């Protein structure tokens, strides 16, 4: 199937062709016609499947007719993090360049004044994180009664971040006759409940998890002792001739220390994690996208869902604790048909995590290097004998805090309730006929027509 076969306008087809795409991905082929028919939709799909365009493209055509009124956005897209919201905005710019639609991005961590001005002019598309949206809503700056399309993206991530009550609240402020599209990588019970409550006779679409199904990513485990990790990483970067890579760590301090260490060794690297302010995070990301730096050391929270083209390698400097995070991490490479490699460092302490990952992806991962007696792990247990004080308690894992911003996002996001559900591998592409049964900081409002 080609894009031309799914009834998009000529302007959109031109923009899609210029973006370099001929064929819709499975989620796009399945979802776009449903959105065009104004159906509610539940789509089980992750980032990397092309899901963003599956709602952005038909939304542009649907919204092409009609005019925005002051403070009354015509459509609303809810995203769990600022980065994802910004990425969706980029998609609107890319595909909407031949339309005269206006858009506003409401995210925490940037000045509210310009966002309010944009809203007052009237916007066709409002992309927001729930906290900032609620804030402006409570201040009477937004009316949601004219909002005819609602997209709840990354619903399971919203759940992780404690946003579901906000979303429920927002849903009650929109007209009941609206069209609602819900995207989620998994369908834990609270998300199903949300769908049952706020969607009307939805079409159900499910596509395969990209990373587990993605044969473009070669995956390796690397046995290593904690003390040797940095050295092994530098060796791998050299031997792999890694042109660029995202390097994941489980803790913010590790991100910081590793970045400093890489820079000391002459590598062009940067870092992103939840403690870094939004403007700096965005700058680091841009530097990585532009090739000003080659290596981005990152935490899960900051890097989840990021869409950077041409990432040749992912290194898991720390094996992730949650198998789902593994899938998200390695999915940063091998995107849009390109080849990629993912190396995961494994210490003795990580064996259980690796077992869970292999269970989830349904495969044994190739293991490199022999299992060494872990010198550092021995050291950690030995200090008492040598009269040293017990090791300082380790820093806690980073919590998902992107939504946190100076009074803008709801405090609940600062103490997220991590409700993890074990995702089930999905079949290739399932469409249910009967519906559900079971420019960054500073870039705010853009008229993206030419």
Given the rule CB under 6 A, which residues bind ligand AMP? 21, 23-25, 28, 47-53, 307, 335-336
3 state DSSP class of 214: coil
Nearest distance from residue 399's CB to ligand AMP, in Å?
Answer: 24
Q: Do the Cβ atoms of 298 and 255 come closer than 8 Å?
A: yes
Nearest distance from residue 79's CB to ligand AMP, in Å?
Answer: 12
Nearest distance from residue 94's CB to ligand AMP, in Å?
Answer: 8
Nearer of residues 92 and 137 to ligand AMP, judged by Cβ: 92
- CA torsion 213-195-129-64 (nearest 10°) is 90
Nearer of residues 88 and 112 to ligand AMP, judged by Cβ: 88
Name the β-bridge partners of 248: 298, 316
CA dist 150 to 35, 77, 172, 223, 392, Å? 11, 6, 12, 46, 48
Nearest distance from residue 87's CB to ligand AMP, in Å?
Answer: 7
Q: Do the Cβ atoms of 408 and 131 come closer than 8 Å?
A: yes
What is the strand order of the sheet 203-207 is part of? 429-432, 203-207, 41-44, 179-184, 149-152, 75-78, 125-128, 102-106, 445-447
Longest dimension (CA), the chain: 76
Nearest distance from residue 308's CB to ligand AMP, in Å?
Answer: 8
Nearer of residues 46 and 284 to ligand AMP, judged by Cβ: 46
- Cα Rg of the chain, angstroms: 22
Nearest distance from residue 57's CB to ligand AMP, in Å?
Answer: 9
Nearest distance from residue 53's CB to ligand AMP, in Å?
Answer: 4
Q: Do the Cβ atoms of 299 and 328 come closer than 8 Å?
A: no
Helices in 240-298 by DSSP H: which ranges?
252-264, 278-290
**Residue 114, both tokens:** 């310009």
Nearer of residues 29 and 134 to ligand AMP, judged by Cβ: 29
Nearer of residues 2 and 388 to ligand AMP, judged by Cβ: 2
Nearer of residues 24 and 416 to ligand AMP, judged by Cβ: 24
Name the β-bridge partners of 81: none
Q: Which residue has the tokens 């499947």?
A: 49
Nearer of residues 49 and 316 to ligand AMP, judged by Cβ: 49
């Amino acid at each position: 199937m080609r894009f031309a076969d799914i009834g998009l306008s000529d302007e959109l087809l031109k923009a899609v062709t210029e973006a370099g795409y001929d064929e819709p991905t499975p989620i796009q082929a399945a979802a776009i016609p449903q959105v065009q028919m104004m159906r509610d939709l539940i789509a089980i799909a992750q980032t990397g499947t092309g899901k963003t365009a599956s709602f952005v493209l038909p939304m542009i055509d649907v919204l092409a007719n009609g005019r925005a009124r002051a403070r009354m956005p015509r459509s609303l897209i809810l995203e769990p993090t600022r980065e994802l919201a910004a990425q969706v905005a980029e998609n609107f710019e890319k595909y909407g360049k031949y339309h005269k639609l206006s858009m506003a991005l409401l995210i925490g961590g940037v000045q509210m004044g310009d966002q309010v001005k944009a809203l007052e002019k009237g916007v066709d598309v409002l992309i927001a994180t729930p906290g900032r949206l609620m804030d402006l809503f409570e201040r009477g700056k937004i009316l949601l009664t004219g909002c005819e399309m609602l997209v709840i993206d990354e619903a399971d991530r919203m759940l992780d971040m404690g946003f579901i009550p906000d979303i429920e609240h927002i849903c009650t402020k929109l007209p009941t006759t609206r069209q609602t599209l819900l995207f989620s990588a998994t369908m834990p019970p609270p998300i199903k409940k949300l769908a049952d409550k706020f969607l009307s006779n939805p079409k159900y679409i499910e596509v395969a998890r990209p990373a587990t199904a993605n044969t473009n990513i070669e995956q390796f485990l690397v046995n290593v002792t904690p003390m040797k990790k940095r050295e092994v990483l530098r060796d791998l970067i050299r031997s792999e001739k890694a042109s660029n890579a995202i390097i994941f760590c489980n803790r913010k301090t590790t991100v910081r220390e590793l970045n400093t260490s890489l820079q000391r060794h002459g590598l062009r690297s940067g870092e992103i994690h939840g403690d870094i302010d939004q403007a700096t995070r965005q700058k680091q990301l841009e530097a990585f996208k532009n090739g000003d730096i080659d290596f981005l050391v990152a935490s899960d929270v900051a890097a989840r869902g990021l869409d950077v083209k041409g990432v040749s390698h992912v290194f898991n400097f720390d094996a992730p604790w949650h198998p789902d995070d593994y899938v998200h991490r390695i999915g940063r490479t091998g995107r849009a048909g390109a080849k990629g490699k993912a190396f995961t460092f494994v210490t003795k302490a990580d064996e259980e995590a690796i077992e869970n990952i292999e269970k989830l992806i349904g495969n044994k991962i190739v293991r490199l290097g022999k299992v060494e007696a872990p010198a550092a792990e021995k050291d950690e247990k030995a200090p008492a004998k040598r009269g040293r004080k017990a090791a300082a308690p380790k820093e806690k894992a980073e919590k998902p805090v992107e939504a946190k911003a100076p009074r803008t996002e709801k405090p609940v996001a600062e103490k997220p309730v991590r409700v993890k559900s074990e995702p089930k591998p999905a079949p290739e592409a399932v469409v249910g006929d009967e519906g559900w049964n079971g420019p960054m900081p500073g870039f705010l409002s853009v008229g993206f027509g030419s």
